[in-house]
Structure 1
Amino acid sequence: MSGIIVPTEEDLPKAPRVPRRSTVFSDVDLGRDGKQIGFFHVPQSPHDDAWGTVRVPLAVVKNGTGPTVLIEGGNHGDEYEGPIALGELIRSIDPAGIQGRIIAIPAINLPAVVAAQRTSPVDGLNFNRTFPGDPAGTLTRQLSAYVHDVLFPESDFFLDLHSGGSSLMIMPSAIIEPAADPAQHRRNIDATLAFGAPTTVMVDNLGERRTSTASAVDAGLTVVGTEMAGAGTVSAEALAICRRGIRNVLAHAGVIDPEHLVKPAGEPRVLTIPGAAAYGFAGDDGVFEAAQAPGEPVQAGSVAGRIHFLTDPGREPAVLRHRIDGVLFARRQPGRVRPGNCCFVVAVPYDWSGSR
C-alpha cells in the first residue's frame, strides 16, 4: 500500500456554509437609530389559530456607532427580577444618552413567562437547554435559533438575567461563563465583576454547552450571567442588584457613560462550583428539610439536610451530607423532592489572579 496518500479531513473540499432558513420576522429594525419597542414573530399553527404567530417583545435602542449589548430576561418563565429590571430600562432609557446599541428581550421564552413556569407549556422544553436551536424545530428551538443565528452575530456583549426560579433559592450573584480562550475568559471575568453583585460565581453547568451563555461564548461574545435569588418570588434586594448591574454592564461596555458605573466596596468575592461533588441530589421520595441557608459556610461531612417520610412515621429521615467545604450557593425551595432532585449546591473560593 506504499505510495497511496489518504486524504485527511483538512484536505477535503469544504462545502459552503448555508445560512439556516427561519420563518421568524420582526417589526423592529435592528439598524435604525432611536428607540423601538415591538415584537419578533414566530409563525405557529396550533389548533385554534391556523396562521398565527407567537409575539415576543423586542426593544432596540440605538444611537450612532458603538458596541451592541444584547440583554435577555425570561429565559425561564418563573424568574422575575431580570424581566422587571429590563422592562424598567426599556421604558426609561433615552437614545440620546447612549453610544451604540441595546437589544433587549425581557420575555424571550414567552409561553413559559405567561405560564410562570420554567419550561415551555407548548413543547415541554427548557429554552436554556436548546441552543443553538433549530429554525425548523418546535417553538422553543425556533426561539433559541433566532437568538443564536440573528441576534448573536449583531452583538458584542450578552447579559443573561436569571434567578433561581420556583425550585431553588440562590445567593444573589453575577455568573462568570468560562471560556476556553484566555483573552475571552478574562473579558468575561471583567464584565461580570463590573456587574457589581455582592458575590460572583463561575458556573460551567457541569460542562453543559446547550445554554444561551455557553452558546454566546462559542459565538465570541463577552458574556455575563446572573442568579438573582429565586423561590418563584421577587426579591427587593436582588431586584436592586439587578437594576444597578444592568447599567454597570452598559457602562463597562461603553454604551452609557462610564461615570455611571457603581463599583461595590472592597475586593470582589469570587467563587466557583467545583464539579459534581458540589451538588447534592435526593435519593428518596419525601420532604427535604435544609440545614443551612444560602450564603452560610458548610463543611465536608456536615449535615446538609434531611428527607422526611411523612406517610411512613416509623422510618428515620434520610440524611444528606456535604462532600466539600465551602459556602452554600443554592438550596432546594419546595420541600417535596423525588429521586434526582437537586437539593443543594456548594461554591468554593475561585483564584482568578491568573486571569488578571
Structure 2
Amino acid sequence: MRIGNLEACPGEKKAGWIPVDGTPYRLPVTMICGGDGKTTLITAGVHSGEHVGVQAVMELAEELRPEDIGGTVILVPIVNVSGYGQRGTSMVWEDGKNLNREFPGNREGTTAEKICRTVTDVLFPAADYYIDLHSGDYFEELHPYVYYVGPVKEQVRAAAQAMAACVDTEYVVESQVTTGGAYNYASAAGIPSILLERGGRGLWSRAEVEADKADVRNVLHHLYGGAGMSDGMRTEEALHEAGKQTLLTDVRYIDAPCGGCWYPFFSAGDICEKSAVLGEIRDYFGNVIHICRAAERCVILYQTVSLNLPKGSPMVAYGVI
C-alpha cells in the first residue's frame, strides 16, 4: 500500500507525513497494513478544536497491530493542521474557512481548499470505507450521535448504515447533504462513510476517548472480523443493546438571527416538546431580543453554551422526533 511517499507492506506499520502542496503544512499519517483486504480511512481534527477524536485516533494508531486487521487502516489524527497549531477556532487559520464546507477542495485555492484537495486526491482514492471523528466546538455542548448520508447509491447507503449501527450512540442521523463535508463528499463518491460526534467545549476525557476507540474497533470488527479487534470492544450483548438506536432524518440547524448574549434553557440530549422555548438572546442591557422555539417535538443534538453569540453563528441543532 502506498499513500503519497508513504509505503507499507503486509505486516507493517508505517508513520509519516503527506505534504499539502502550496502550503507549509503536512498531514500526519499512520498506515497499518494487515494484508490484501479493503482499506479503512479514519480521520479526526477536520475541526481543530474537537479534541476527543484527535486523541482517540492517536491512541488507535499506536494500539492497532497489522495482525489485527484483514486489510489496511489509514489514520490521520489532525486534518486541520493549520488551525490546530494556532489553537484558534476550528477554522483554517489563514483564510477562516471551515474545512467541512470546502470539499473536494482546489489545489490552486486557499489553504483550506488545498488541504481538502490533498485529502480528496491522496487519501480518498485509497479508501474503501471512511470514519470521521468529530465533537462539538469550543463553544458547544453535544449529545453523542452518528451521521451517514442517505441520498447516495443504495449499496453505499446500506454499507454506511451498517457501520453506523455498530456505534454506541442513542441517535443516528441520516443526512440529506452530499456536498461540502469530508464524509458527505466521500459518500457521494462511492465510499461508505460515517461521521461520529462525541464531546465538546474543547475538552476531552478518558471516558470519551475510550468510547470513540471502542466504536471504531466495533466498526473495524464489523468490516474485518477477527479477535484482534476485541481489545476495548463491547460485548456482543452490549452491542446489541447499543443497536437500539433512534433514526433521525430531519435535523434543524438554527443560526443566530442577531448577536447578543445567549441563554439556553435545556441541555444537549434533552427531549423538547413542540413550541418549547429552547433559549433566549438578550442584549447587553438584559432585554430579550429573540426567543428560539422548537418547531417540532425534538431532541437537542448540540447547542452553543457560551454567553457571547455572534449573528449568524450556530445556536442550536435538534433532531425532529
TM-score (norm 2): 0.89
Amino acid at match of 1:102: V
Q: Partner residue of 1:274?
A: 250
Distance in 2 between the 1:342 and 1:200 partners? 21
Amino acid at match of 2:248: T
Distance in 1 between the 2:225 and 2:13 partners? 14
Secondary structure at 2:159's aligned position in 1? helix
C-alpha spacing 1:201/1:95, structure 2 compared with 1 (3 Å): same
Distance in 2 between the 1:259 and 1:85 partners? 15
Distance in 2 between the 1:309 and 1:146 partners? 43
Deviation readout 1:152-195 (Å, 9 max, x if unpaired):
12111000111111232111112222233222211111111112
Q: Does 1:35 align with 2:5?
A: no
Q: Does 1:284 align with 2:284?
A: no
Instruction: Tell me, yes or no, if the aligned pair for 1:280 and 1:322 is still in contact at 8 Å.
Output: no
Q: CA deviation at 1:258?
A: 8.1
Q: CA deviation at 1:31?
A: 5.8
Deviation readout 1:29-84 (Å, 9 max, x if unpaired):
16665000110112446xxxxxxx42221110002210100001110100011110
Instruction: Tell me, yes or no, if the aligned pair for 1:101 and 1:255 is still in contact at 8 Å.
Output: no
Secondary structure at 1:103's aligned position in 2? strand
Q: Partner residue of 1:145?
A: 117
Distance in 2 between the 1:83 and 1:27 partners? 23
**Residues 28-177 of structure 1 aligned to structure 2 (within 5 Å):** 28-29=6-7, 33-44=11-22, 53-116=24-87, 117-177=89-149
Secondary structure at 1:166's aligned position in 2? coil
Amino acid at match of 2:50: E
Secondary structure at 1:195's aligned position in 2? coil
Structure 1's consecutive aligned runs of 4 or more residues displaced over 6 angstroms after TM superposition are: none
Distance in 2 between the 1:193 and 1:267 partners? 6
C-alpha spacing 1:88/1:127, structure 2 compared with 1 (3 Å): same
Q: CA deviation at 1:325?
A: 0.6
Greater C-alpha radius of gyration? 1
Q: Partner residue of 1:222?
A: 192
Secondary structure at 2:269's aligned position in 1? coil
Deviation readout 1:5-42 (Å, 9 max, x if unpaired):
xxxxxxxxxxxxxxxxxxxx944116665000110112
Amino acid at match of 2:263: E
Q: Tell me, which stretches of 5 or more residues in structure 2 are unaligned?
A: none
Count of residue pairs brought into register by the alignment: 312
Q: CA deviation at 1:200?
A: 2.2
Instruction: Tell me, yes or no, if the aligned pair for 2:167 and 2:242 is still in contact at 8 Å.
Output: no
Instruction: Tell me, yes or no, if the aligned pair for 1:271 and 1:348 is still in contact at 8 Å.
Output: no
Amino acid at match of 2:275: G
Could you say what the CA RMSD is over the residues aligned between the two structures, in angstroms?
A: 2.2
